[in-house]
A = this chain, B = another copy of it.
Amino acid sequence: MISVEEARARILAAFAPLGAERVALADAAGRILAADAHAGADQPPFSVSMMDGYAVRSIDTGPRRVIGSAPAGKPFPGMLGGGEALRLFTGSVVPDGADAVLAQEDAERDGDTVRFSETPHPGKFVRPRGQDFRAGEILASKGRRLCARDLALLAAGDVAAVAVARRPVIAFAATGDELSKPGEPRKPGGVVASSVYGLSPLIAQWGAIPRDLGILPDRIEAIAALADQTCDLLVTLGGASVGDHDLIQAALGPRGLALDFWKIAMRPGKPLIFGRLGQTPFLGLPGNPVSTLVCATLFLRPAIAAMLGADAATSLRRARLAAPLKANDQREDYLRARCEERDGDLWVRPFPVQDSAMLKIFARADALIVRKPDAPALAEGAPVEVLTLE
């Protein structure tokens, strides 16, 4: 048995970024940048008015002569001279010669003459060219997961397409003679293969492409056929406990399975296989559904992040215990729990039952309390670290 930390380090060491592809900006939401994205133009591309009003020279005083009008997108072709004003709107180009804008509310127009009740300082109501960013500036850095605001920013920077990490293909199969799909007739003594329904959307959410290989019977030839898959990571669900482990070994050993480790000192999810099947990394997740999804969060998610060139760290938050906890044994523990905010503090309450087959409690949870091996008993109110669930 190795520690969670060591398992994660060994898994991360087995993955490197996969490479890049170019996608149109409109298709880039949620993708990971494979290279820094630079602005293609200054923003704003010229000095613009922040108001509906008039462009003026701040050194002038008294009434001005209105020399024309320039709506947004229809810049004035000439230059503003002494004693002149140009009618502008929000987003209009401020003409050469002008250095300030006076608001419509502070203007009194009389034919071609306009009087102002305010004296502007230079730059008043003007967004200078390049105020937001300059051409060539980095707008979003390599490794960043592009959010909606990033896309708007890149569009403003005249970026039409970006280089993003290729999405890894994660092929996965549930193993077990006892398994069937929901809604299908159940085998005698059989259960529904539930974990795959949770795993598939998580894989997509973590930025990879799920490829569901279905349910495999506990037969050597069925499991051996997994070696024919072309994918970036092959995952089995179930097939990692003692008896199953022998079957996986018997089926995949002759196909080139090289095991790295197959037991982790954690709960839920002690049995966890990691290795390589020929050139393909291989991860055997435990079959109990809660164990499957917790182990996927701890080990599959960082593997995907590493293939994407993204941050692979599991981020934890501090919270205070809403109920006391007993001392932990030698396995790192991930307790299903619910968080609540009280007076700005985050409190977390573990569920009294922590059986790794109980999906209902897992679905009601919104966090996992992380307890290190041999952690001492804790009183109510003590600080703990939690992993927030989706």
A interface residues (Cβ-Cβ under 8 A, vs B): 25-26, 29-30, 40-41, 43-46, 48, 50, 52, 70-75, 89-93, 127, 131-133, 139-140, 147-161, 176-179, 181-184, 186-202, 204-205, 212, 218, 241-243, 287, 289, 293, 317-320, 341, 343-346, 355, 357-363, 365, 383, 389-390
Contact A93 B152, beta carbon cutoff 8 Å: no
Residues of B within 8 A of A154 (CB): 182, 197
Closest 5 CB pairs of A and B: A73-B178, A160-B183, A152-B198, A75-B189, A318-B344
With both chains docked as a complex, state the minimum distance between the C-beta of A190 and any C-beta of chain B, in angstroms.
5
Contact A197 B155, beta carbon cutoff 8 Å: yes
Known contacts A178-B72, A199-B148: A52-B287 contact under CB 8 Å: no
Q: Which of B41, B293, B363 contacts A140 (CB 8 A)?
A: B363
Known contacts A75-B189, A127-B355, A197-B25: A149-B293 contact under CB 8 Å: yes
Contact A29 B344, beta carbon cutoff 8 Å: no
Residues of B within 8 A of A178 (CB): 72-74, 91
Contact A344 B132, beta carbon cutoff 8 Å: no
Contact A182 B160, beta carbon cutoff 8 Å: yes
Closest B residue, CB atoms, query A190 = B73
Taken together as a complex, chains A and B put the C-alpha atoms of A154 and B241 apart, in Å, by 25
Residues of B within 8 A of A242 (CB): 52
Taken together as a complex, chains A and B put the C-alpha atoms of A176 and B89 apart, in Å, by 12
Contact A201 B30, beta carbon cutoff 8 Å: yes
Known contacts A189-B75, A318-B344: A289-B152 contact under CB 8 Å: yes
Taken together as a complex, chains A and B put the C-alpha atoms of A367 and B283 apart, in Å, by 37
Q: List 11 A-B contacts (CB under 8 A).
A: A48-B357, A50-B357, A73-B178, A90-B287, A131-B358, A139-B360, A152-B359, A152-B362, A153-B360, A320-B344, A345-B345
